[in-house]
Amino acid sequence: MVIKPKERNIVYRCPDCGSSIFGLVGRFALKANMLRLKCSCENSLPLDINVTNDKKLRLSVPCLFCRQPHNYVVSENVFFERDLFLLNCPYTGMDIAFIGDEDKIQGELKRTEAEIQRLMTSLEAEELSDIQPTELSDDEILCDPAVFDTLKFLVCDLADENKIKCPCGDGSYNIRYFGKGVEVYCERCGATHAFSATTPSMAEEELSIDSLELK
Ligand SMILES: [Zn+2]
Ligand SMILES: [Zn+2]
Ligand SMILES: [Zn+2]
Protein backbone atom coordinates (compact mmCIF):
# COMPACT_ATOMS: atom_id res chain seq x y z
CA MET A 1 0.00 0.00 0.00
CA VAL A 2 1.22 3.44 -0.87
CA ILE A 3 0.79 6.01 1.84
CA LYS A 4 0.05 9.38 0.37
CA PRO A 5 1.75 12.29 2.09
CA LYS A 6 -0.67 14.67 3.72
CA GLU A 7 1.71 17.59 3.81
CA ARG A 8 4.00 19.26 1.36
CA ASN A 9 6.77 21.80 1.79
CA ILE A 10 6.75 24.88 -0.35
CA VAL A 11 9.52 27.45 -0.54
CA TYR A 12 9.95 30.72 -2.40
CA ARG A 13 12.44 33.58 -2.21
CA CYS A 14 11.35 36.99 -1.02
CA PRO A 15 11.92 39.47 -3.89
CA ASP A 16 12.78 42.19 -1.36
CA CYS A 17 15.41 40.61 0.86
CA GLY A 18 16.14 37.33 -0.93
CA SER A 19 15.37 35.15 2.11
CA SER A 20 13.93 31.70 1.52
CA ILE A 21 10.40 31.51 2.96
CA PHE A 22 9.30 28.02 4.02
CA GLY A 23 5.73 26.83 4.34
CA LEU A 24 4.01 23.56 5.03
CA VAL A 25 0.76 22.85 3.20
CA GLY A 26 -1.61 20.26 4.61
CA ARG A 27 -4.06 18.51 2.31
CA PHE A 28 -6.90 19.06 4.74
CA ALA A 29 -5.99 22.47 6.05
CA LEU A 30 -5.99 23.69 2.49
CA LYS A 31 -9.54 22.57 1.88
CA ALA A 32 -10.80 24.94 4.52
CA ASN A 33 -8.59 27.95 4.02
CA MET A 34 -6.53 29.97 1.74
CA LEU A 35 -2.88 29.65 2.63
CA ARG A 36 -0.62 32.68 2.71
CA LEU A 37 3.15 32.75 3.19
CA LYS A 38 4.90 35.99 3.81
CA CYS A 39 8.36 37.24 4.58
CA SER A 40 8.76 39.21 7.78
CA CYS A 41 10.50 42.05 5.96
CA GLU A 42 8.63 45.24 5.12
CA ASN A 43 6.61 45.62 1.85
CA SER A 44 7.08 42.00 0.92
CA LEU A 45 4.52 40.36 -1.36
CA PRO A 46 2.83 37.20 -0.06
CA LEU A 47 2.65 33.80 -1.74
CA ASP A 48 -1.02 32.78 -1.85
CA ILE A 49 -2.54 29.38 -2.45
CA ASN A 50 -6.25 28.97 -3.18
CA VAL A 51 -8.26 25.90 -4.04
CA THR A 52 -10.36 26.26 -7.18
CA ASN A 53 -13.84 24.78 -7.63
CA ASP A 54 -12.42 21.87 -9.62
CA LYS A 55 -9.88 21.03 -6.87
CA LYS A 56 -6.82 22.51 -8.48
CA LEU A 57 -4.45 24.69 -6.50
CA ARG A 58 -4.03 28.20 -7.76
CA LEU A 59 -0.78 29.77 -6.62
CA SER A 60 0.31 33.37 -6.78
CA VAL A 61 4.08 33.46 -6.32
CA PRO A 62 6.15 36.64 -5.96
CA CYS A 63 9.00 36.48 -8.45
CA LEU A 64 12.53 37.26 -7.32
CA PHE A 65 13.45 38.29 -10.84
CA CYS A 66 10.40 40.33 -11.93
CA ARG A 67 9.27 41.70 -8.54
CA GLN A 68 5.71 40.80 -9.47
CA PRO A 69 3.65 37.71 -8.75
CA HIS A 70 3.20 34.95 -11.34
CA ASN A 71 0.15 32.70 -11.29
CA TYR A 72 0.19 28.93 -11.59
CA VAL A 73 -2.46 26.25 -11.51
CA VAL A 74 -1.33 22.85 -10.23
CA SER A 75 -3.42 19.75 -9.77
CA GLU A 76 -3.75 18.42 -6.26
CA ASN A 77 -2.01 15.19 -7.29
CA VAL A 78 1.02 16.96 -8.67
CA PHE A 79 1.22 19.17 -5.61
CA PHE A 80 1.01 16.43 -3.00
CA GLU A 81 2.51 13.44 -4.74
CA ARG A 82 5.59 14.60 -6.64
CA ASP A 83 8.91 14.41 -4.78
CA LEU A 84 9.80 17.71 -6.35
CA PHE A 85 7.91 20.20 -8.47
CA LEU A 86 9.34 23.52 -9.58
CA LEU A 87 7.54 26.68 -10.61
CA ASN A 88 9.54 28.84 -12.95
CA CYS A 89 9.38 32.45 -13.99
CA PRO A 90 7.85 32.68 -17.48
CA TYR A 91 10.07 35.62 -18.38
CA THR A 92 13.51 34.50 -17.16
CA GLY A 93 13.03 30.73 -16.97
CA MET A 94 14.52 30.74 -13.45
CA ASP A 95 12.88 28.55 -10.80
CA ILE A 96 11.11 30.69 -8.21
CA ALA A 97 9.22 28.21 -6.04
CA PHE A 98 9.89 24.67 -4.92
CA ILE A 99 7.30 22.13 -3.80
CA GLY A 100 8.02 18.67 -2.44
CA ASP A 101 10.26 16.77 -0.03
CA GLU A 102 12.34 18.90 2.25
CA ASP A 103 15.63 17.21 1.22
CA LYS A 104 15.00 17.70 -2.45
CA ILE A 105 14.03 21.33 -1.88
CA GLN A 106 17.24 22.00 0.05
CA GLY A 107 19.19 20.67 -2.91
CA GLU A 108 17.31 22.95 -5.29
CA LEU A 109 17.85 25.95 -3.03
CA LYS A 110 21.59 25.35 -3.17
CA ARG A 111 21.55 24.88 -6.93
CA THR A 112 19.49 28.02 -7.61
CA GLU A 113 21.48 30.07 -5.09
CA ALA A 114 24.58 29.37 -7.20
CA GLU A 115 22.60 30.21 -10.34
CA ILE A 116 21.55 33.57 -8.90
CA GLN A 117 25.13 34.30 -7.85
CA ARG A 118 26.36 33.56 -11.37
CA LEU A 119 23.65 35.76 -12.87
CA MET A 120 24.50 38.64 -10.54
CA THR A 121 28.20 38.32 -11.25
CA SER A 122 27.65 38.26 -15.01
CA LEU A 123 25.50 41.41 -14.75
CA GLU A 124 27.94 43.02 -12.34
CA ALA A 125 25.05 43.42 -9.90
CA GLU A 126 25.70 44.13 -6.24
CA GLU A 127 22.18 43.81 -4.95
CA LEU A 128 19.09 41.89 -5.92
CA SER A 129 17.38 45.08 -7.00
CA ASP A 130 20.09 45.55 -9.65
CA ILE A 131 18.81 42.52 -11.52
CA GLN A 132 15.12 43.32 -11.05
CA PRO A 133 13.18 45.52 -13.46
CA THR A 134 11.54 48.61 -12.05
CA GLU A 135 8.49 48.06 -14.22
CA LEU A 136 7.62 45.69 -17.01
CA SER A 137 6.95 47.61 -20.22
CA ASP A 138 4.18 46.57 -22.63
CA ASP A 139 6.42 45.10 -25.30
CA GLU A 140 8.15 42.90 -22.74
CA ILE A 141 4.81 41.21 -22.11
CA LEU A 142 4.69 38.83 -25.03
CA CYS A 143 1.41 37.08 -24.58
CA ASP A 144 -1.48 37.07 -22.16
CA PRO A 145 -0.42 35.45 -18.85
CA ALA A 146 -3.75 33.58 -18.86
CA VAL A 147 -2.61 31.77 -22.03
CA PHE A 148 0.56 30.73 -20.25
CA ASP A 149 -1.40 29.54 -17.18
CA THR A 150 -3.81 27.47 -19.24
CA LEU A 151 -1.11 25.83 -21.36
CA LYS A 152 1.11 25.17 -18.35
CA PHE A 153 -1.79 23.38 -16.76
CA LEU A 154 -2.42 21.38 -19.95
CA VAL A 155 1.24 20.33 -20.20
CA CYS A 156 1.39 19.26 -16.52
CA ASP A 157 -1.73 17.19 -16.99
CA LEU A 158 -0.50 15.52 -20.20
CA ALA A 159 2.92 14.86 -18.68
CA ASP A 160 1.26 13.32 -15.64
CA GLU A 161 -0.61 10.90 -17.86
CA ASN A 162 2.45 10.12 -20.02
CA LYS A 163 0.74 11.65 -23.03
CA ILE A 164 3.75 13.65 -24.19
CA LYS A 165 6.17 11.97 -26.59
CA CYS A 166 9.63 13.27 -27.36
CA PRO A 167 12.73 11.96 -29.16
CA CYS A 168 14.62 11.15 -25.95
CA GLY A 169 11.70 9.00 -24.83
CA ASP A 170 11.86 10.03 -21.20
CA GLY A 171 11.89 13.79 -20.96
CA SER A 172 10.76 16.21 -18.37
CA TYR A 173 8.66 18.99 -19.79
CA ASN A 174 8.18 22.65 -19.18
CA ILE A 175 6.82 25.64 -21.01
CA ARG A 176 8.21 29.05 -21.85
CA TYR A 177 7.36 32.16 -23.84
CA PHE A 178 8.42 31.84 -27.44
CA GLY A 179 8.06 34.63 -29.96
CA LYS A 180 4.55 35.96 -29.44
CA GLY A 181 3.29 32.69 -28.03
CA VAL A 182 4.15 29.77 -25.81
CA GLU A 183 5.97 26.50 -26.44
CA VAL A 184 6.45 23.30 -24.50
CA TYR A 185 10.01 21.97 -24.40
CA CYS A 186 11.86 18.91 -23.15
CA GLU A 187 14.41 19.78 -20.47
CA ARG A 188 16.46 16.74 -21.43
CA CYS A 189 16.76 16.76 -25.22
CA GLY A 190 15.50 20.23 -26.11
CA ALA A 191 12.69 19.09 -28.43
CA THR A 192 9.80 21.55 -28.63
CA HIS A 193 6.23 22.06 -29.71
CA ALA A 194 4.90 25.57 -30.24
CA PHE A 195 1.28 26.30 -29.41
CA SER A 196 -0.59 28.49 -31.84
CA ALA A 197 -2.80 29.95 -29.09
CA THR A 198 -2.26 33.63 -28.37
CA THR A 199 -5.54 34.53 -26.66
CA PRO A 200 -7.18 32.97 -23.58
CA SER A 201 -10.08 31.56 -25.64
CA MET A 202 -7.67 29.93 -28.11
CA ALA A 203 -5.78 28.45 -25.17
CA GLU A 204 -9.02 27.01 -23.76
CA GLU A 205 -9.56 25.23 -27.08
CA GLU A 206 -6.15 23.57 -26.79
CA LEU A 207 -7.38 21.87 -23.60
CA SER A 208 -9.26 19.36 -25.76
CA ILE A 209 -6.08 17.82 -27.17
CA ASP A 210 -5.16 14.47 -25.60
CA SER A 211 -1.54 14.03 -26.62
CA LEU A 212 1.51 15.96 -27.80
CA GLU A 213 4.55 15.02 -29.83
CA LEU A 214 7.69 17.14 -29.49
CA LYS A 215 10.18 17.51 -32.35
ZN1 LIG B 1 11.90 39.61 2.71
ZN1 LIG C 1 9.40 36.41 -13.07
ZN1 LIG D 1 13.24 14.75 -24.65
pLDDT in tens, 104-119: 999 999 999 999 999 8
Does residue 12 sit in the same domain as residue 113?
yes
Gap from CA of 166 to ligand 3 centroid (Å):
5
Q: Is residue 181 located within the same domain as residue 81?
A: no
Q: Are residues 124 and 154 in the same domain?
A: no
Q: From CA 185, how far away is CA 135, in angstroms rounded?
A: 28
The answer, yes or no, to whether residue 85 has pLDDT greater than 80, is: yes
CB of 49 closer than 8 Å to CB of 9: no
Spacing, Cα 37 to ligand 1 middle (Å): 11
Q: Is residue 135 part of a domain?
A: no
Whether residues 124 and 159 share a domain: the answer is no
Residues 6+ away with beta carbon under 8 Å from 56: 73, 74, 75, 76, 153
- Distance between CA atoms of residues 27 and 6, nearest Å: 5
pLDDT for the residue 61: 95
> What ligand has the least distance to the C-alpha of 189?
3
Number of domains in the chain: 2
The 10 Å Cβ neighbour count of residue 114 is 10
- For residue 185, the ligand closest to its alpha carbon is 3
Residue 54 lies in a domain: yes
Indicate whether 215 belongs to any domain.
Answer: no
Shared-domain flag, residues 69 and 107: yes
CA distance 111 to 123: 19
Cβ pair 172, 119 in contact under 8 A: no
* Ranges of H-type helices in 123-210: 145-160, 200-206
**Would residue 136 count as lying in a domain?**
no
Specify whether 122 is located in the same domain as 165: no
Residue 118: its H or E element: helix 102-122
Q: What share of the chain is helix, strand, coil (3-state, %, to 5)?
A: 30, 30, 40
Q: Is the pLDDT score of 88 beyond 90?
A: yes
Region 7-30: mean pLDDT is 88
Q: Is residue 121 part of a domain?
A: yes
pLDDT at residue number 104: 95
The verdict on 165 and 204 lying in the same domain is yes
Decide if 151 is inside a domain: yes
Q: What is the Å distance from ligand 3's center to 212 Cα?
A: 12
Report the percentage of the chain scoring pLDDT > 70. Answer: 89
Starting from the CA of residue 44, give the closest ligand: 1
Stretch 131-146: mean pLDDT, rounded?
Answer: 64
Residue 36 bridge partners (DSSP): 48
Q: Which domain holds residue 193?
A: 142-210
**Is 146 part of any domain?**
yes
User: Ligand 2 centroid vs 67 CA: distance in angstroms?
Assistant: 7
CA 85, 88, 93, 95 dihedral sign is: negative
Based on the fold, state whether residues 156 and 61 are members of the same structural domain. Answer: no
Alpha-carbon gap, residue 177 to 73, rounded angstroms: 17
Length of the chain: 215
Same domain, 98 and 157: no
Going 144 to 149 to 152 to 158, the CA torsion angle's sign is: negative
Same-domain status, 85 and 156: no
Span from the CA of 132 to the centroid of ligand 2 (angstroms)? 9
Q: 190 C-alpha vs ligand 2 centroid, how far in Å? A: 22
User: Which segment of 4-18, 76-90, 105-119, 135-149 scores lowest on mean pLDDT?
Assistant: 135-149
pLDDT (0 to 100) of residue 189: 93
What residues are paired with 74 via a beta bridge? 57
Higher model confidence: residue 191 or residue 198?
Answer: 191
Residues 148 and 124 in one domain: no
Domain boundary among 67, 95, 130: 130
Task: Look at residues 30, 187, 193 and name the one whose alpha carbon lies nearest to residue 99.
Answer: 30
Of 76, 103, 130, which one is at a domain's C-terminal end?
Answer: 130
User: pLDDT-derived band of residue 5, with 50, 70 and 90 as boundaries?
Assistant: low
Is residue 88 within 8 Å of 94, Cβ to Cβ? yes
Q: For residue 69, which ligand has an atom nearest its CA?
A: 2
CA of 56 to the centre of ligand 2 (A): 22
Taking the centre of ligand 3 as the mean of its atom positions, its distance from the CA of residue 165, in whole angstroms, is 8
Q: How close is the Cα of 92 to the center of ligand 2, in Å?
A: 6
Choose one of 98, 130, 162: the last residue of a domain. Answer: 130
107 falls within a domain: yes
CB 166 within 8 A of CB 214: yes
181 and 147 belong to one structural domain: yes
Q: What is the pLDDT, as a whole number, of residue 30? A: 66
